[in-house]
Amino acid sequence: MDATPNRRQRRLPASEDALAELAVAYLERFPTTAARAALYLGRKTGEAVAEGLCSPSDAQAWVVAVVQRMKRARVLDDRRWAESRARVLHRRGRALRVIRRDLVTHGVEPELVEGALDALAEEHGDVELSAARALARRRRLGPFAQPHQRAELRERHLAVLARAGFSFTVARRVIDEPADDASPWTSLTPRDESQAAT
């Protein structure tokens, strides 16, 4: 048998330090939670066990130790990650329950989830309303739609917000808001609108 390790084996961790290097490289590319990092490292050490590079007990101990090291070094910080993720999802127009579910799915502890949502509320006031407005702006719904199409598309626009997880009350409030200067259509003449629609 060839003594030279193949490329796959060279990427697999054969020690705790090698696993830590793998963790740092992964986290530089994909910031995530401690729970998700542990899953990734568990997969890598599982592959190393299958290749005979380490024992299952060593692999498990390494994952725990490396995750703790990353937390102490603040490379892994679930609070910071949750707050950042919540802000990103809010800007994309995600409903509060969608943001909460996303954070929980990523393994964020319940108190950190609530902290991230509280931080959003401090920053934006009514989180649901501001997220619904963000989605309406992105999708050109309600006050952000072309004025001549707004009335005929009202029900569809309400349905878009409902499917995104917003209550009917919030959806109706956003869709029925008057168009403001932020709307891309407020400065267009009827001729400009017909050209923009094509």
Give DSSP secondary structure letters for 143-174: GGS-HHHHTTTHHHHHHHHHHTT--HHHHHHH
Q: Which residue has the tokens 């997220």?
A: 131
Its pTM stands at 0.77
pLDDT means per 10 residues, the chain with 198 residues, are: 50 88 94 96 94 91 96 94 97 95 97 96 92 95 90 94 95 90 47 45
Do residues 149 and 103 both lie within one domain? Answer: no
Residues 153 and 179 grouped into a single domain: yes
Is 113 among the domain residues? Answer: yes
Residues 84 and 36 in one domain: no
Model pLDDT, residue 192: 46
Listed residue (109, 115, 86) closest to 36, CA to CA: 109
- My answer on whether 169 and 153 are in the same domain is yes
**What is the pLDDT at residue 156?**
96
Contacts of 91 (CB under 8 A, 6+ apart): 134
Distance between CA 48 and CA 54 in Å, rounded?
A: 6
* Angstrom distance (rounded) from CA 149 to CA 5: 64
Tokens describing residue 4: 């030279």
Q: Give residue 31's domain range.
A: 7-72
Same domain, 89 and 110: yes
Q: What is the pLDDT of residue 130?
A: 94
Same structural domain for residues 16 and 67? yes
Tell me: do 105 and 136 sit in the same domain. no
In a domain, residue 192? The reply is no
Tell whether 102 and 146 lie within a shared domain: no
Last residue of a domain, one of 36, 54, 72: 72
Of 48, 72, 96, which residue constitutes the final position of a domain? 72
Whether 65 maps to a domain, the answer reads yes
171 falls within a domain: yes
- 108 assigned to some structural domain: yes
Domain boundary among 34, 50, 72: 72
Number of domains in the chain: 3
Per-residue pLDDT at 12 = 82
Say what the pLDDT of residue 7 is. 52
The pLDDT value recorded for residue 158 is 95
